[in-house]
Amino acid sequence: MAAQSRLSELEQVLCYRFSHPGLLECALTHRSLTHEQAQTGGGVQAASAPEDNERLEFLGDAVLSLVVAEALYAMHPEWREGELTRVRAGLVSRQHMAQVAEAAGLGGYLRLSRGEERSGLRHKATVLSNSMEAVMGALYLDGGLEAARRFARRFVMGEAAEQLARDLRSGAALGNYKSALQERLQAAHAGSPVYRLKSESGPDHHKRFLVEVRIKGEDGARGDPLARGTGRTKKLAEQDAARRALERLEALGASGATARTAERDVPDGEPPSV
């Protein structure tokens, strides 16, 4: 398929027609191709060959962060900075942008050197993510912020943003339950979580750690156990304890209970049944 025809095909996928198609061509050009062309051209890059996409990637990364932050700010006036930051991080992450690129079939349009073509580079997540950011940069240069906004709303946000919001509420966003628990307790002015190693068992190559989380009040006093968690490392056990604490608070929250009520509901001297 001729180069211009391929660009037109991708424009249909992206739902955008470029006034300057060279920008899109540049966004699809990996540095391996320009390096190969420079070598085969006797060290001088052919005048007709576009530059690689790294500068557009730099620009697109900044534009992407801006338009996603702007959209989240408008969509969720009830969110605080921490919530906005964490969901934005998930949406602009390398993993998610690689998924966006895969959904658009972007790998099939990348311009690579023959060596990297044989290596399967066009299917690697890092290359897909970087190239998708470069396309965002090209959209911005060609159509301004509005073109970038439309693309982000259509391809980057959507259901992914809502899923991340649900994960955030459950404490699963980015897998960081400890941060989610701390943010929830601070928002409720209930104190901060404190983790304590209760026990460890098993041989060195197969350790098991038991960690307990309590709420530390503003006066420095530690409350009763809120939850316990286990894991192969202390950090994983702490994350598990935080996850269980969030589940407990979520269940109690549905009945109008507070974090302090959660502590009082645990019988003295007994671990919480979570």
Asked if 78 and 93 touch (Cβ cutoff 8 Å), the reply is: no
C-alpha closest to that of 244 among 198, 177, 182, 196: 177
Q: What residue type is 211 in one-letter code? A: V
Is residue 236 classed exposed, middle or buried when 0-12, 13-18 and 19+ CB atoms within 10 A define those classes?
middle
Options 25, 52, 57, 61, the catalytic residue: 61
Is residue 133 flagged as an active site residue? yes
Buried b (16+ CB within 10 A) or exposed e, 12-50: eebebebeebebbbbbbbbebbbebbeeeeeeeeeeebb
3-class state of residue 226 by DSSP: strand
| Type and span of the H or E element at 262 | helix 259-264
Options 57, 133, 224, 240, the catalytic residue: 133
- The two three-digit tokens of residue 131, written as one number: 């190239």
- Number of CB atoms found within 10 A of residue 154's CB: 12
Residues pairing with 176 in the sheet: none
Is residue 61 flagged as an active site residue? yes
Asked if 259 and 191 touch (Cβ cutoff 8 Å), the reply is: yes
Catalytic positions are: 61, 133
